């Protein structure tokens, strides 16, 4: 044989058309089998959760936490815990269940610039209850991240509180050293000036003894009444309804600052006025009240209700009482000094006596320690850190606290969301047409190398065909041919009908349409 006879496009079409019955049968078998398989694919339900990311858009830590949580959703460790808990694919291995979860779950993130604004977690399953349960477990990863963030904030806050307490203790020590130094300088200045004022004091003493006696009586009555009112107010402040939920006060640093200001003011007044001056007496009374409050805070005697309005009223009344007692002490000392001055020389040491507790002497250089500036800067930095922690715990209006807020919880689907049977049917029809044409082309391929008509004879012999002798059959042969055609048709029909369930089994085994339906 010399080779293939050249054929035109129309001749190839005619060759395929001769196999139209084969094309129809193959197309019918494949398409019907595919429709049966598609109709048997169960529908699947989808459940999803929407998570809003709360925080400033310039905070890179929020974006990194969102990214890490999304990556955790696809991790093997997290999905294995979900598979062990919910068992979404019964009778499968753990690896198969993890692959199924990764295939059927979907995480979409909507960004505003570079900031993740909304995260949607969805999961599909044939059972709507399982879909809801798995979607809830996936969304729980964001709640776990909120708890981890809250725990870290608590640790940071506890560490900041511990450092603040340490700084307050060191600041108190520095304040005491500064107060002792200022007291020593004041003592020296007062002792130098008292010798010059002794003569004038003895002259003025006689005229003021009577006034001081009246003032002493009035102050004694006021102190008694003030103590009674304080006792009543303390009963109110210590009641369970008031003390419940109160927190420790952070006013210690403010008291230290106020104490330093009063000591500086007392130093300034001592250089200009005597101890009997009303300004000096008032500053001393305020300083005694401040030292009394600092002593209470240092010894831990304040109760849990220090920040309640009733407790603040008690402290205010105690400060007023302290002021009255200080004023009474000053009045008593001044009265005693004046009485002594009226009968003899004034004792300089008596004028320097005070009602406050003795402060141990320190060197003058202690008040000028350069470390106090660093302590104040560190103290302010820790206060700023605590403010940032409180801001990180902000609560959005109407939502739950935390960086990740689940605004749309998973629910059971009432209707299946897939598969798209029309699309699968169209794919099956196109695939059946392609396979049917391929079968027809394969069956006609042998005609390309064989002599099947007069054109093949003329091509291979190199001479034209003069005439064609048609095939003639007797009536008996024609009857036999019709019977053979009928039997052949019935056999083809039976084989076609039998091939449909076989193709259904093959397609179910290959899982082609099941895979397409899951996408």
307 versus 17: which is more confidently predicted? 17
Looking at the structure, do residues 301 and 208 belong to the same domain, yes or no? Answer: yes
466 vs 343, 380, 451, 472, 494, CA distance in Å?
Answer: 172, 116, 17, 19, 44
Instruction: Say how far apart CA 201 and CA 209 lie, in whole Å.
Output: 12
Mean pLDDT of 470-486: 81
Query: Cβ distance 508 to 37 under 8 Å?
Result: yes
Please report whether residue 49 resides in a domain: no
The DSSP 8-state label assigned to residue 415 in this structure reads: S
Instruction: Say how far apart CA 79 and CA 70 lie, in whole Å.
Output: 12
Query: Cβ distance 437 to 426 under 8 Å?
Result: no
Least confident of 244-253, 477-486, 487-496: 244-253
Mean pLDDT of 169-188: 80
pLDDT-based confidence at residue 429 (cuts at 50, 70, 90): very high
Looking at the structure, do residues 248 and 336 belong to the same domain, yes or no? Answer: yes
pLDDT-based confidence at residue 200 (cuts at 50, 70, 90): low
Please report whether residue 413 resides in a domain: no
Mean pLDDT of 314-318: 79
Q: Would you state the pLDDT for residue 207? A: 67
Mean pLDDT of 181-201: 73
Q: Would you state the pLDDT for residue 341? A: 62
Instruction: Say how far apart CA 463 and CA 288 lie, in whole Å.
Output: 138
Query: What average pLDDT is seen over the chain?
Result: 76
Q: Would you state the pLDDT for residue 52? A: 85
Domain boundary among 391, 406, 424: 391
Assigned token pair, 154: 């608590």
Q: Would you state the pLDDT for residue 469? A: 74
Q: Would you state the pLDDT for residue 74? A: 86
Assigned token pair, 134: 């798995």
Please report whether residue 190 resides in a domain: yes
SS3 state at 448: helix
Looking at the structure, do residues 373 and 287 belong to the same domain, yes or no? Answer: yes
Looking at the structure, do residues 386 and 465 belong to the same domain, yes or no? Answer: no
Looking at the structure, do residues 319 and 219 belong to the same domain, yes or no? Answer: yes
Q: What pairs with residue 238 in β-bridges?
A: none
SS3 state at 355: coil
Looking at the structure, do residues 303 and 370 belong to the same domain, yes or no? Answer: yes
Query: Cβ distance 314 to 237 under 8 Å?
Result: yes
Q: Smallest Cα–Cα separation from 449: which of 14, 4, 15, 2? A: 4
Residue 362 pLDDT greater than 70, yes or no: no
Q: Which of the residue ranges 12-16, 418-422, 424-428, 438-442 has the most confident prediction, judged by mean pLDDT?
A: 424-428
pLDDT-based confidence at residue 206 (cuts at 50, 70, 90): low
Please report whether residue 467 resides in a domain: yes
Question: Which strand ranges, in their side-by-side order, compose the sheet holding 105-112?
Answer: 105-112, 115-125, 45-53, 404-408
Least confident of 74-83, 100-109, 165-174, 203-212: 203-212
Please report whether residue 32 resides in a domain: yes
φ/ψ bin of 221: left (φ > 0), alpha (ψ from -120 to 50), beta (otherwise): alpha
Looking at the structure, do residues 305 and 203 belong to the same domain, yes or no? Answer: yes
Looking at the structure, do residues 361 and 458 belong to the same domain, yes or no? Answer: no
Mean pLDDT of 71-87: 88
182 versus 5: which is more confidently predicted? 182
Looking at the structure, do residues 373 and 487 belong to the same domain, yes or no? Answer: no
307 versus 458: which is more confidently predicted? 458
Q: Would you state the pLDDT for residue 465? A: 75
Domain boundary among 366, 391, 416: 391
Looking at the structure, do residues 387 and 458 belong to the same domain, yes or no? Answer: no
Residue 511 pLDDT greater than 60, yes or no: yes
Q: Tell me the per-residue pLDDT of 368-386, one tens digit each, with 9 for 90 and over.
A: 455 567 767 777 777 777 6
Residue 488 pLDDT greater than 70, yes or no: yes
User: What DSSP letter does each residue of 23-41 carry, written as one string?
Assistant: HHHHHHHHHHHHHHHHHHS
Residue 476 pLDDT greater than 50, yes or no: yes
Residue 351 pLDDT greater than 60, yes or no: no
Domain boundary among 352, 375, 391: 391
Q: Which of the residue ranges 128-137, 186-195, 205-214, 279-288 has the most confident prediction, judged by mean pLDDT?
A: 128-137
Looking at the structure, do residues 343 and 484 belong to the same domain, yes or no? Answer: no
Domain count, the chain: 2
Q: Would you state the pLDDT for residue 4? A: 63
Q: Would you state the pLDDT for residue 321? A: 83
> Percent of the chain having pLDDT more than 70?
76
Please report whether residue 343 resides in a domain: yes
pLDDT-based confidence at residue 426 (cuts at 50, 70, 90): very high
Residue 350 pLDDT greater than 80, yes or no: no
Least confident of 55-64, 244-253, 491-500: 244-253
Assigned token pair, 425: 């049917």
Q: Tell me the per-residue pLDDT of 91-107, one tens digit each, with 9 for 90 and over.
A: 888 888 888 888 888 88
Residue 503 pLDDT greater than 80, yes or no: yes
Looking at the structure, do residues 345 and 454 belong to the same domain, yes or no? Answer: no
Please report whether residue 88 resides in a domain: no
- The domain of 13 spans 9-41+445-517
263 versus 153: which is more confidently predicted? 263
Please report whether residue 56 resides in a domain: no
pLDDT-based confidence at residue 181 (cuts at 50, 70, 90): confident
């Amino acid at each position: 044989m010399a080779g293939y006879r050249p054929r035109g496009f129309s001749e190839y079409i005619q060759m395929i058309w001769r196999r139209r019955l084969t094309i129809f049968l193959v197309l019918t078998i494949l398409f019907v089998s595919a429709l049966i398989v598609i109709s048997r694919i169960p529908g699947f339900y989808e459940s999803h959760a929407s998570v809003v990311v709360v925080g400033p858009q310039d905070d890179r830590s929020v974006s990194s936490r969102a990214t890490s949580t999304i990556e955790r959703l696809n991790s093997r460790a997290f999905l294995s815990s979900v598979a062990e808990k919910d068992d979404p694919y019964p009778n499968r291995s753990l690896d198969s269940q993890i692959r199924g979860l990764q295939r059927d779950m979907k995480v979409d993130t909507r960004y505003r610039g570079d900031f993740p604004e909304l995260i949607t977690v969805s999961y599909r399953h044939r059972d709507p209850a399982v879909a809801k349960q798995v979607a809830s477990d996936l969304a729980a990863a964001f709640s776990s991240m909120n708890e981890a963030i809250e725990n870290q904030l608590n640790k940071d806050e506890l560490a900041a509180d511990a450092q603040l307490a340490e700084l307050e203790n060191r600041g108190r020590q520095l304040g005491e050293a500064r107060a002792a130094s200022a007291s020593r300088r004041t003592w020296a200045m007062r002792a130098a000036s008292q010798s010059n004022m002794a003569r004038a004091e003895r002259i003025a003493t006689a005229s003021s003894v009577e006034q001081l006696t009246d003032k002493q009586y009035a102050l004694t009555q006021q102190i008694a009444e003030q103590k009674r009112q304080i006792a009543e107010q303390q009963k109110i402040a210590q009641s369970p309804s008031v003390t419940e939920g109160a927190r420790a006060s952070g006013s210690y640093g403010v008291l230290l600052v106020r104490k330093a200001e009063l000591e500086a003011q007392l130093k300034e007044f001592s250089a200009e006025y005597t101890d009997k001056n009303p300004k000096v007496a008032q500053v001393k009374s305020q300083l005694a009240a401040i030292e009394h409050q600092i002593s209470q805070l240092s010894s831990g005697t304040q109760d849990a209700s220090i920040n309640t309005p009733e407790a603040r009223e008690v402290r205010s009344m105690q400060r007023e009482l302290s002021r009255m007692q200080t004023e009474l002490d000053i009045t008593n000392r001044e009265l005693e000094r004046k009485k002594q001055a009226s009968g003899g020389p004034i004792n300089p040491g008596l004028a320097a006596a005070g009602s406050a507790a003795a402060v141990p002497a320190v060197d003058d250089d202690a008040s000028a320690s350069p470390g106090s500036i660093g302590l104040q800067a560190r103290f302010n930095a820790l206060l700023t850190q605590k403010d940032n922690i409180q801001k990180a715990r902000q609560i959005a209006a109407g939502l739950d606290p935390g960086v990740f807020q689940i605004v749309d919880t998973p629910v059971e689907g009432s209707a299946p969301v897939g598969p798209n049977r029309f699309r699968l049917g169209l794919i099956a029809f196109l695939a059946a047409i392609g396979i049917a044409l391929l079968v027809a082309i394969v069956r006609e391929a042998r005609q390309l190398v064989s002599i099947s008509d007069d054109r093949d004879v003329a091509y291979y012999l190199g001479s034209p065909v003069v005439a064609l002798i048609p095939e003639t059959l007797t009536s008996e042969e024609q009857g036999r041919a019709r019977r053979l055609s009928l039997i052949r048709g019935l056999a083809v029909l039976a084989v076609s009908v039998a091939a449909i369930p076989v193709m259904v089994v093959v397609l179910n085994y290959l899982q082609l349409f099941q895979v397409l339906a899951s996408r």
